[in-house]
Amino acid sequence: MEKLSVDDVESDGMGAADRRGLSEPLNTSDLAINYYHLQPGEGFSGGLHAHMDQEELFFVIDGEATFELPDETVTVGEREAIRFAPGEFQRGSNESDSDLTALALGAPRDSEDVRVPQPCPEGDSDDMRIRFGEGEMTLVCPECGTELEG
CATH code: domain of residue 77: 2.60.120.10
103 plus 129 within the same structural domain: no
> Does a structural domain hold residue 1?
no
Position 69 in a domain? yes
Please report, in tens digits, the pLDDT of each residue of the chain (150 residues total). 999 999 999 998 667 789 999 999 999 999 999 999 999 999 998 789 999 999 999 999 999 999 999 999 999 999 999 999 999 999 999 999 999 999 999 999 999 999 999 999 988 799 999 998 877 889 999 999 899 876
| Residue whose C-alpha is closest to residue 100's, from 50, 73, 66 | 66
Say how far apart CA 120 and CA 75 lie, in whole Å. Answer: 31
Domain that holds residue 58: 6-107
Tally of domains in the chain: 2
* 137-146 contact pairs (CB < 8 A, 24+): 142/113, 142/115, 144/120, 146/120, 146/121, 146/122
Q: DSSP string spanning 131-144?
A: EEETTEEEEE-TTT
pTM for the full model? 0.91
